A = this chain, B = another copy of it.
Amino acid sequence: MTDTPNVLWIMADQLRFDYLSCYGHPHLHTPHIDALAKRGVQFDHAYVQSPVCGPSRMSAYTGRYVRSHGSTWNGMPLRIGEPTLGDHLREAGARAVLVGKTHMIADKEGMAWLGIDPESEIGVHRSECGFEPFERDDGLHPDSARQNWSAYDDYLLAHGYDSDNPWEDFANSGVDETGELLSAWLLKNSRLPANVPEEHSETAYMTDRAMEFMEDAMQDGRPWMCHLSYIKPHWPYIVPAPYHDMYNETHIVDPIRSDAERKTDHPLMGAYLDARVCRSFSRDHVREHVIPAYMGLIKQLDDNLGRLFAWMDEKGLSENTIIAFTSDHGDYMGDHWMGDKDFYHDMAVKVPLIIADPRPAADATRGTVSDALVEMIDLAPTIMNALGCTPKPHIIEGRDLTPILHDRAGFSRQYVISEHDYHWSEMAASLGVSQEDAHTTMIFDGRWKYIICEGFAPVLFDLQNDPNELNDLGRSDGPEHVEARARMDAALLRWATRHHTRVTATPSVLARQKTAAKDGILIGFWDEEEYLSATGQAFGDLAPSGKR
């Protein structure tokens, strides 16, 4: 085993932290993910930097907060000139390879402005979030501007699934007992089996592709980080047999919600509850159809990961591959009378995070659970460390988790941050909030979760006394609550006024500035004598040195 391990970074999409048995789900058993946790560290307080796919992923792939990279919502291109994890790894001689979804939108206008050909190697990296694309696939949205024919569509065609839109007609549709094809974009069809056998489903396909990449990489020899990014259990909620009927109403945990929440007088929270997806998931029969399918998708994912891990053991890859497993955000599933994600309750903004490091230095922490407050942006510097990149504090805002993995001091964080831009939403439309003002920011210190909502009162939860986040203290005049809000405001101000965009402050630039400041600024000297006593050199000696 070499000193430089490889890294397999597995990301599920829209996977709630509490829908895994190692995170406590009573009915959904995920033995393979649980086994990974036993080989590594399970993080119980891992938070994403935005509770929605695009910005959360852009933060994960840059190691930077949303306010720093600027890609604030799905479809907001990652600006040209924003450095990514892939760029840092390539610089260190490692490959950063994509197998699956990134949700990245290329900054075409920016590339044209700077004369970068999107087809060039540089252009492709800039279009793929800095990754070398082995397979790029963001899933099929039948009504989306991002609609693309994918390699998976070709795969389905090649295996005899003939259609002008195979993904939609096979992976995203179900068949009822009469043989009728029914779209899983309608929730009533969630319990049907997907119109594709499991071995040809999206999850199985992408697992196979990851193995194909690792086969190639073993020939190639360079160290690598592979981002295996599954589209599931993200909607449309439908899963192939036998997973479609493994779970039923009896396996559904009760919703986390209170009648008081429904009567909120907070305008923004009220607008959320009025949004279609929230009204829909507030209905029990919707939960009863969707949750079993969601659980089936996760069970299928776990089985495929079991297949992948066994294959890696067999190939001898496990002993030299750090495996990270996480998700880009959760799913409300009707909790708090909400659906999908887009806000900051734990089931939306907190994610599972497991890191199994095969190196001996990590032996002491295998099977342990860490309650450290960590952010998704911490993965990038952790992976950079593993692959021998020099730290880049002027760019990377995440913090290296290696000290936790290796059971030593060196990691600390007092709070986690998450941001959301809702300018596109029903909430902004119904409240008449401008796209400039339609944003919220969350800060959580382990007890107090505080959310500032531009133009509205803040939201505050005390997770020590209200772990289910049912009681909004954002306007409470209880002294402890007033004090907590003031402390969180101060912490947010410190965070928000920190350097976030000083990406050119490289070591060489900073060194040059120190030199210029030390020798360079001649102002303030009265005469030669003062100059000599201050600098230790004669003025006459220095002046010519600056000449050409």
Listed in ascending order, the chain A residues whose CB lies under 8 Å from chain B are: 67-83, 87, 107, 109-110, 113-116, 120, 122, 126, 141-147, 149, 164-165, 168, 183, 185-188, 235-236, 276-277, 279-281, 283, 285-286, 339-340, 393, 421, 423-426, 435-436, 439, 441, 452, 454, 489-490, 492-494, 496-506, 509-510, 512-517, 519-528, 531, 534, 539, 542-543, 545-548
Contact = CB atoms under 8 A, between A and B. Distances in A.
Contacts of A489: 489-490, 493
A81 B78 contact: no
Given A82-B81, A185-B525, A546-B144, A116 B113 contact: no
Nearest to A545: B143
A520 B439 contact: no
B280 A524 contact: yes
A510 B423 CA distance: 9
B454 A542 contact: no
A270 B79 CA distance: 41
Given A286-B526, A436-B499, A523-B339, A424 B143 contact: no
A79 B503 contact: yes
B501 A68 contact: yes
A497 B452 contact: yes
A497 B492 contact: yes
A75 B512 contact: yes
A543 B510 contact: no
A525 B183 CA distance: 11
B500 A74 contact: no
8 contacts: A79-B503, A81-B81, A141-B546, A142-B547, A145-B520, A277-B524, A439-B499, A492-B497
B143 A499 contact: no
Nearest to A547: B165
Given A71-B502, A75-B509, A236-B523, 11 more contacts: A75-B516, A76-B513, A114-B114, A142-B522, A143-B519, A164-B548, A165-B547, A168-B547, A236-B522, A421-B502, A454-B498
Q: Is the interface of A mostly helix, strand, loop or mixed?
A: loop
Given A188-B527, A503-B79, A145 B512 contact: yes
Contacts of A68: 501
B143 A520 contact: yes
B339 A186 contact: no
Contact of A71 (B110, B504, B528): B504
A96 to B, nearest CB: 14
Contact of A528 (B79, B186, B452, B490): B186
Given A186-B527, A526-B286, A542 B493 contact: no
A497 to B, nearest CB: 5
Given A513-B74, A539-B183, A494 B114 contact: no
A261 to B, nearest CB: 19
